[in-house]
Structure 1
Amino acid sequence: MIASLVRPLGPRDPHEQHRVASPLELFTDLCYVVAIAQGALTLEHEIAHGHVANGLIWFAASFFAIFWAWLNFVWFNSAYDPDDTIHRVLTLLQIFGSLVLAAGVPPMFEHDFTLGVVGYVIMRVGLVLMWLRAAAGHPERRATALRYARGLVAVQIGWVVALLATSGDIPIGLFVVLVVLDFAVPVWAEAAGTTPWHPHHIAERYGLFFIIVLGETILSVTIALQNAFAEEDPPFELWYVVIGGVLVTFSAWWLYFARENGDILTGNDVGYVWGFGHYVIFGATAAVGAGLSARIAFYGHHAEVGDVVSSAFVTGPVAAALAALWIVNVRLHDASIRTAGPFGAAIAGCVAVTFVPVSELWVGLICAALLAIEVRLTSRDADDAVPG
């Protein structure tokens, strides 16, 4: 009976044809986005109440916690996914931990990491047990799997000790040190042998997560607009937010999927930059939703920040997302001036319009113009690739 429930945990074929995300992986992504929504909503609240620096710092910190937990699961699952009963139970345990983390995101902005660390402990228990299964089922990468398990346990102990020593208020300096140690685990582990992750499966997982983050951004802005338009005599400037927000989100989707990401993931040297760099892409995309909502609050005279500050939380994240997209994606396809020039001009333009009225509209137009150039370039490249 047990043998029928638990399959041997061998590695997946990194060249497997037609590898797609499983329903459990999609469910996992959806639950992690609950935590992202909590972070974006709290960031919007911090901006509207004038707590700009606090909101920015702790949004970056809390978003890293969410992204890092998700990333570790994604890359493991790409290499080892038996989809048996034990694997599903351990995955659901990690999902439960992500929901505890989601509940702990707002307290992080108040410098209380208690729930966040508890959520991480739950997730790490599931992930460490997965790596121990991989060590037993994949002798060629046993050393790698055991390094992952030991590293995760050691760093998690560090987080728990830091939590207890600071009564939940982990200072940002100590937070950064622990983050660096977390980053070191996969680098140290993979030095013993590369895990057999599937490039196109990884690219699909990241792409699907990006779509869900975009959806969360659209939802938060829609709710803010709905509340604003329900008020008596809503300001006309809300329409600039509508148009600009639509142009930014639609352009972001198209720009991200304009090129095939799986083709450039040729090894860990590329995978590290590509995979870790998405922290900025995902985080900035989520922050755009908070920024647009802050602009709505500004136009409705419900924000304690002025035009330039609320504008910067739209233009800044868009510029950061475009920069990260070029560095970790477009550059690996084409690093020439053909792409560097338009992206550089768009980034500079986003920063410049921070100080211009209705900046959200101008940012949307800039993104649409960049998209038009990218569509032309990728279409021309596709035509050139066709024989004859």
Structure 2
Amino acid sequence: MDRIPGSTNELGDETAPGTWRRPDRPLFDPPRLRTGEQGERKTTWMELFFDLVFVVAVDQVARRLEGGVTGSAVVGFLVLSVPVWWAWVGYVYYVDRFGTDDLSDRLVTLVKMGLALTLALRAQDALGAGAAGFALAYGAFRLVLALSYAHAARAAPQARGASSRFALGYGLAALLWLVSAVVPAPGCFWLWGAAFLVDVGTPLVLAGWNVRFPPNTGHLQERFGNFTLIVLGESTVGVVEGLRQQTQGPAAGIAALALLLAFAVWWVYFETSDGAPVQAVREGRTGPYNVWLYAHLPFTVGIGAGAMGVMHAIREAAQPALSDPSRWLLAGATALCFVALAVINWAYATSGSRWHVPQVGWNLLAGALALVVAAFAGGLPALGVMGLLTAAGLLPVGLDVWRRAQRQGR
């Protein structure tokens, strides 16, 4: 293969990290069905850029918990987390199926990035005065996705039937979101619910699409991994902001333990990452794949809530006891992360990867211990609660290291 003059890079066909765009590639490359392509497919720079921007919206939704851990704040956080995560998933799957990273793809992605930032801007008051702005941004985001599928239906004849139905379903959902912007509360929220049901129902009705045109195993696994990594990194911002307000000794200890807990979550997710559920779709088995996909929602929610829990713990570092709402937020988020990780590992195991079977139990144990801390650690200071949760999170890591050492005869 030819190389770039004066460079060690090959003139590859992709614009993935570590590659270079061929100078003779057309600026406009119509959507084409890519699920049957052979060979490794990497995430493009533009996809990574989009993820970095989109995580801002995820972070702003989580910051609804920053002002205080109240029932309304928690409900608002959960209600908004679901559609925001779903918007990211919709983009990922379109690109996996039809993305060519041409000029039009990049410009459409740029528009979606702008809409994602608008979602972030409106997230704080999306259930109040900012509801119309949030609905307009979300509806526009889904409308762009629907138009992308309509374009793919014309450009890729072999997938025209399914693409047209995706365009119709997502377009109807987008219309409901846009109409809700001019409907006063509480009617607008009923329209949100109806729109989301149409949004989620569309791929469920077209479930056979995944078997006929299965996703790219490596590309999809890498997309979810990259997004998880960025969300984990963003979660540390709360630690820094908390330390700016509270710099006493216990606060630094809480921050160190929080970093250690984030490391444990990172270890369990990435050390056990496996493309088996996505690969199973090619064999006609969609159950493990769907479990793997949807388990990422509570996992992402848990990371965001945990970041806010750490922030509150640092703020209360000097108090004799961590308040009950903050303790439940922090411990509950930790439990949610590890239960979601257990479900993800279960998806790996049911896809045929027996190595993951013990990890399911270890993660469930960590989640159960976190719930015990939530229920029975009342009266402990924030540092003590954080220490117990970190110990619970490190348990599956230690067991995984021990098992690997045993396997290697050490």
Would you call these one fold, judging by a TM-score over 0.5?
A: yes
In 1, Cα distance between equivalents of 2:342 and 2:271: 12
Give identity over the alignment, percent. Answer: 23
Runs of 5+ unmatched residues, structure 2: 1-24
Asked if 1:182 corresponds to 2:182, the answer is no
Shift of 1:219: 1.4
Match status 1:72 vs 2:90: yes
Pick closer, same or farther for the CA change 1:228–1:177 going to 2, 3 Å: same
Show the counterpart of 1:318.
334
In structure 2, the partner of 1:101 is 119
Equivalent-residue separation in structure 2 for 1:204 and 1:192 (angstroms):
21
CA deviation digits over 1:300-320, x for unaligned, max 9?
Answer: 56xxx9622211111101101
Contact 1:97 1:121 in 2 (8 A): no
Q: Structure 1 regions of 5+ residues with no counterpart? A: none
1:375 is matched with which residue?
Answer: 401
Distance 2:203 2:35 in 1: 20
Do the aligned residues in 1 keep the contact of 2:342 with 2:363 (CA within 8 Å)?
yes
Contact preservation (8 Å) 1:55, 1:109: no
- Give deviations 1:253-305, integer Å, cap 9, x for gaps: 0100112321331214333221222111111101110001011222356xxx9
- The aligned length equals 368
- Per the normalisation by structure 2, the TM-score is 0.83
Q: Any residues of structure 2 matched to 1:1-388 within 5 Å, and which?
A: 4-14=26-36, 16-47=38-69, 52-110=70-128, 112-167=130-185, 170-171=188-189, 175-191=192-208, 194-229=212-247, 234=248, 236-265=249-278, 266-267=280-281, 268-300=286-318, 307-333=323-349, 334=354, 338-354=358-374, 355-356=376-377, 357=380, 358-377=384-403
SS in 2 for 1:79: helix
Distance 1:323 1:260 in 2: 16
Deviation at 1:195, TM superposition (A): 3.6
Structure 2 counterpart SS, 1:257: helix
Amino acid aligned to 1:347: G
| d(CA) in 1 for partners of 2:107, 2:214 | 23
Partners of 1:35 and 1:98 within 8 A in 2? yes
Q: Is the 8 A contact 2:35 2:216 kept in 1?
A: yes
Contact 1:259–1:378, Cα closer than 8 Å, also in 2 = no
* Distance of 1:326 and 1:379 partners within structure 2: 22
TM superposition shift of 1:336: 7.9
Contact 1:162 1:170 in 2 (8 A): yes
Structure 1 residue 330, shift from structure 2 partner: 4.3
Q: CA deviation at 1:15?
A: 5.1
Q: TM-score, normalised by structure 1?
A: 0.87
Q: Deviations over 1:26-83 (max 9, x none)?
A: 0000111111221222312132xxxx11111111122222211110000111111111
> How large is the Cα RMSD of the aligned pairs?
2.5
